[in-house]
Structure 1
Amino acid sequence: MPAVYGLLKGRKTACFPPITGDMENAGATVIDAPDVVDGNLISCRGWPDMPQFARAMMEVFSKSINSASA
């Protein structure tokens, strides 16, 4: 988990609602949304958000591929 390694400090993320306090204690800003993109960090609240999460991932991958080929 990124929080254990201090990787969420100052980052925006979504999370499973019962662990919101833990994520905030790890330094993250928790956003209650089906998909949250903060740079290369893509997160969601849980399995019901997978369609939105997958679209967000594809968008980030697409931007990465397009910038690499430019």
Structure 2
Amino acid sequence: MKCSALQCYFCESGKSCAPTIENCGPGKDTCFQGVCSDPSYIQKKCMRMEECQVKRDSRAMKVTCCQTDLCNK
């Protein structure tokens, strides 16, 4: 069992992203990255895997869901 919180990159931006590192809170077990091309938008953050899968399944944006530190580069 891992004792420290998962770390993910965090940013919400229009066209570019200068991410910071976020320590994920309780229940947030996944690093998310979402990219839209039209209009250009990038989002990176911690979230629950179930929530990330819903976003991925919606196909509104290109989504990555991963569960290792800083994997949403």
Task: Answer yes or no: same fold by TM over 0.5.
Answer: no
The structure that has the greater radius of gyration is: 1
TM-score under structure 2 normalisation? 0.27
Higher strand share: 2
Q: Which has the higher contact order (CA 8 A, sep 6+)?
A: 2
TM-score under structure 1 normalisation? 0.28
